[in-house]
Amino acid sequence: MRSLSPRRVAVTGIGLVTPVGIGLPGAWEAIKAGKGGVGPITRFPAEALKTTIAAEVKGFAPEDFMDRKAAKRLELFIQYAVAASKMAVADSGLASVAGDRSGCVLGCGLGGLRSMEDNHMVLASGRPDRISAFFIPMIIGNMAAGQVAIELGLRGPNFLSATACAAGTHAVGQASLLIRDYGYEVMVTGGTESVITPLAIAGFNAIKALSTRNGDPARASRPFDRDRDGFVVGEGSGILILEEWGRAVSRGARIYAEVLGFGASCDAFHFTAPPEDGHGAILAIRNALEDAAPRGLSLADIGYINAHGTSTGLNDLAETLAIKEVFGPLAPKIPVSSTKSMTGHLLGGAGGIESAFLALAIHEGVIPPTINLDNPDPGCDLDYVPWTARKADLRAAMSNSFGFGGTNGVLIMGRAGAWE
């Protein structure tokens, strides 16, 4: 257990590029209203694939956030990160986040897969001389964090977590530690991803991970439902501005939430499947609770859990078991919802938007719903907030992320002013 640190971490800005909307107001209103973003794939001809649906970002114009010429040199996942970061800074009320004590930690799972596919086709056609000069910078995941730092003048720590579906959550957790325990003042953090490509869809089809409910895309992502048949690939970016608490308070910032705890673990079990008893998830949740315990947090303070909730058979059951094991008799009383039912699964970007949704849920006292939950799996017997958002006075809440390779991350946030 860590000793109580006088440094606290405030969430003061949020930027969102999501399948349900671009910008905080539109995206968050859609989430509260239970509006999904899944539809037929439009990026490429998908008829030959088993899955022809995805949760695409609609109406994104990179020139709204960066120079048009510069945008052409950046893969879409980098563009999303830059756009969401600039929106988050604007939302924070800060005129600038530039400085030596400001940094950027992002999460991304696969990086520039689209550029890999496109440039490999050029190479396979016998024209290695036509490979883009920007190919390598466009595929490297950490270029998202690097480009955000360039755009915003962040000269502090700059790195990227590539821990699959836990990457965004790990990034936010690590960024909070840099403020809490290492003396940094401002961190731009979250996740980003854009891999709606033929190779990604075919690859996930090969391991039978994706829904093939092609004829009814709006109802394809259905976490905890008996009739779920896999997840839906999503894309986008969710970015948070984290500030040292005293700094935020002194400038009169609006504080969405306070980061209270972060936990991580590894299943050490299988490269894609979670253990049936959920022991890795249990450990990550307990580590986050232990990290937050010096602030006075107890099990009874957790009033909402934003679940990993992928809509896959094994994950939904294992996560449910983990929650029941940790919270015991409290578990049935805790609302649990999966916003992936609306956004699809953003992979390395999921933890970014879900951390944002967690902070917003606490700030507004609104628990987002799980849509498409018509017939709960018998093994999924918690309160998953089906279909309709719910008002709640949240003192603290938790977000789970679990990734391939057995990597797990859990964040706990609390209501601003409730943890003095």
Active site (annotated) includes residue 363: no
Q: Which of 104, 170, 279, 345 is catalytic?
A: 345
d(CA 238, CA 361): 15
Q: Among 310, 302, 341, 113, which Cα is nearest to 218's? A: 341
With contact defined as beta carbons under 8 Å apart, do 242 and 186 qualify? yes
Answer yes or no: 270 catalytic. no
How many Cα atoms sit within 13 Å of 107 on the Cβ side?
34
Give the whole-angstrom CA distance, residue 283 versus residue 289: 10
Instruction: Specify whether the CB–CB gap between 51 and 214 falls below 8 A.
Output: yes
Rg of the Cα atoms in the chain: 20
Cβ neighbour number for residue 287 with a 10 Å cutoff: 18
Q: Find the catalytic residue in 104, 108, 165, 380.
A: 165
Catalytic residue among 170, 279, 308, 363: 308
* Residues assigned a catalytic role: 165, 308, 345
